[in-house]
Structure 1
């Protein structure tokens, strides 16, 4: 994180080790290490939000969206159909089936000519008390049926709100009627199916599998499904441990992208094909992984609808920069540190080049029962001597570790303040874009009405 301060290999009060001061790649789609931490933190956010919403008297649903797919379909095409296309310098962003769910007069209601909405102009959104949703996109692939991207969303309903955008607030909760809930389910199924059919008739799902609704009846449901929606791509609930063994879990015909990666590692490491977990040749797994890299670039794996976080009192955001903030904050959650070893940037580079970083962390742990800083420092120094950098380390007492750690936290706080200011600027810019788009949409509808009037006469 800071070349001037290097890194600290420290021992916690629990006898475990942590390395402070390292940057992370933050690639939630591509890195098993960063993904485990990010998704764990995201699951905590979701749990907090959904449990609190149910406690307030609101209602939550888990809704799963899928598309029909075959072995010849490209992942990028399926992702475009579900999530929408990505904006490029030459082409605007095109909404996908997901965005179409929450647009249009049937959903959002219709305003009168003076810009206000009467009760008889309410949309489905108003009748069910839609507050927002949290979306997670997951991908699997198989040799027979090809790519299978699908979306899990926790949808919060049963709320009455006042205000607009960032000033919106919940003023009451209620239980929507059965007819309103059924109307919502029918509408989303129709929109989802119609949109996918318009993109590619081959993507049209059947009525049973396209959109599935499950209500979360209890706080336990909310906790369990928050873990589920933010789970790692290996199919397990998130955890902070390095997940090498977790890569070997998929059953059936499909595998997860991280299982592709695991099989690639096995096959390139000399494990025979019939002994390696997963499926397919090395060439097939590499081709699928590279396609997955390209198709997920620039996309968000987990996303909250705009202003839902502030409405529920949850800080943060969903961008890659926010993911990096979560990783840095996770490093700051190491707890009390009782001893450590400071290593210069050049020294740590030499350590990782020799693949001795894990050995250094193991040496920092109090596995021999001796937690004295000097003894810990000697153990780490012996490991680092193998990389010819024993002289590039400084043993730190508990007080010195605390001072160095505080300096890192101060730098982290400054970065987080800068990130928060960046998010505010981006939100303000987005609001201006939304206002312009709204004006354009009103003008388009007015023009359409005039054309209809002229045609009818």
Structure 2
């Protein structure tokens, strides 16, 4: 274990053997991976002008402090440790540390809503809206095209006639004493929908697309061939109007709109925000930590689709093309909305409205009993940042407690200073909000 080498034989802990069990190391191991990825994202997105106002928020995440001093807590069973008093960026698109917390919160909300709707006898369908694209296409332009097409599709008369005014919206407006004046009763009425924006990169370039979980009163749309065909034709028409007019209409009709139900919805929600398998069983974790054991470098332009965080994993392994793609993605997607719920839908299911930054700042309830390990002073925290040892420090705190951390801090001044170590007590307001 790395910490044992650093500490020698002087540091003892009653939980040392337990901490060495692979299962108990997993929370810390995952934290190390995410800090590695986050540090790479910081370096990719850092504005070298040095102007604080120009930096992406991720560049200060889990570096800046809410006030002087940094407490460290550990699980008493040695399975985990964490910093308190660190500021978060809430950048769900680009921050590997904040993203899991945000997407898991969103996934739980979607899961709660779909389970409750199924209990009430409703049906959930999954609609996917996408566009054709080529490797040379600019990500901003493709995103603008598919987003504009989605707006046109939502406001199309036939689409409105098909789905009607969202029932949850009608109920919310009536409860507020402002009833909908021109309510449309759809042929396939829905309570509302949740729309999620996602993107991958593959052999044909950037692939932004929408997944829409629709809360239907029944699933008859799945067997209504004429209506479904008409919806596909309208989606293609909207894509062409939005500027995606260089592709074969037959291909756009075949792949542009997809509708599924049943297990597909459950499977989508289960995987929402989770890191997928990358290539031949290699996860992001493998890409970051096992590069030397692979027979060859993975080609990011091969016949695969990668998520932005998988690209970031490749970049961590030194692939400059992947780093450039991640930066291109960050420039295009920062500030874009990940999820949209139609008006009244959250109220209907009793789900509170919480933005991404609030979620990232929430202190998670510890799954096991915790204890305070130590407080770091500002100079000690600066040394940790200079040596890029945040994750290593947490590993030692989890396994060896206070004695281990003190030993680590005593040795820290001798470690190479690989980074500036700069941090603020007050979070700067960057332009990438």
TM-score greater than 0.5 by the shorter chain: yes
Q: Find 2:334's aligned residue among 297, 312, 315.
A: 297
Q: CA deviation at 1:292?
A: 1.4
Q: Is the 8 A contact 1:7 1:22 kept in 2?
A: yes
Query: TM-score, normalised on structure 1?
Result: 0.61
For the 8 Å contact 1:128–1:180, the answer to whether it is kept is: no
Tell me what 2:99 maps to: 35
Match of 1:102 in 2: 154
CA distance in 2, matches of 1:116, 1:359: 60
Deviation of 1:224 after TM superposition, in Å, equals 2.8
Q: Is the 8 A contact 1:65 1:150 kept in 2?
A: yes
Contact 2:221 2:227 (8 Å CA) reproduced? no
Report what 1:449 is aligned to: none
Deviation of the 1:357 alpha carbon = 2.1
CA contact (8 A) 1:12 1:339 kept: no
Partner of 1:352: 385
Which residue does the alignment assign to 1:129?
Answer: 189
Q: Is the 8 A contact 1:360 1:383 kept in 2?
A: yes
Matching of residues 135-174 of structure 1 within 5 Å: 135-142=195-202, 144-158=203-217
The residue aligned with 1:385 is 410
Corresponding residue number in structure 2 for 1:192? 235
* 1:244 paired residue among 268, 277, 285: 285
Partner of 1:7: 70
Instruction: Could you tell me which runs of 5 or more consecutive residues in structure 2 were left unpaired when the two chains were aligned.
Output: 1-63, 166-179, 292-297, 415-433
After TM superposition, give the deviation of residue 43 of structure 1 in Å: 1.4
CA distance in 2, matches of 1:342, 1:66: 50
State how 1:301-316 maps to structure 2 within 5 Å.
Answer: 301-316=338-353
In the aligned structure 1, how far is the partner of 2:366 from the partner of 2:266? 22
Name the CA shift for 1:297/1:3 in 2 (closer, same or farther; >3 Å).
closer
Q: CA deviation at 1:69?
A: 0.9
User: In structure 2, what is the equivalent of residue 26 of structure 1?
Assistant: 90
Residue 326 (1) aligns with residue 343 (2): no
Aligned with 2:93: secondary structure? coil
- 1:202 corresponds, among 215, 221, 246, to 246
Tell me: higher relative CO, structure 1 or 2? Use CA pairs within 8 A at least 6 residues apart.
2
Secondary structure, counterpart of 2:371 in structure 1 = strand
Q: 1:37 to 1:234 in 2, by over 3 A?
A: farther
2:128–2:212 Cα contact (<8 Å) kept: yes
Show structure 1 runs of 5+ residues with no match: 84-95, 159-174, 237-241, 269-281, 369-375, 390-457
Aligned to 2:13: none
- The structural deviation recorded for 1:335 is 4.7
Q: Displacement, 1:41? A: 2.0
Match of 1:48 in 2: 112
Which of 1 and 2 has greater Rg?
Answer: 1
How many angstroms does 1:6 deviate by? 2.7
Distance 1:302 1:99, change over 3 A: same
- The answer to whether the 8 A contact 1:234-1:256 is kept is no
Distance 2:221 2:338 in 1: 32
Instruction: Indicate if the aligned counterparts of 1:127 and 1:180 stay in contact, CA closer than 8 A.
Output: no
Contact kept in structure 1, 2:284 and 2:313, CA below 8 Å: no
Change (3 A) 1:128 1:384: same
Query: Residue 137 of structure 2 is aligned with which of 53, 73, 83?
Result: 73
The count of aligned residue pairs is 318
Cα 1:285/1:388, change in 2 over 3 Å: closer
1:337-385 C-alpha deviation (Å, 9 max, x unpaired) = 23321223443232222223223212222x46xxxxxxx2121111122
Per-residue CA distance 1:383-422 (angstroms, 9 max, x = gap): 1223359xxxxxxxxxxxxxxxxxxxxxxxxxxxxxxxxx
Counterpart in 1 of 2:314? 263
| Residue from 209, 222, 225 that aligns with 2:268 | 225
Q: How does 1:412-423 map to 2 (within 5 A)?
A: none
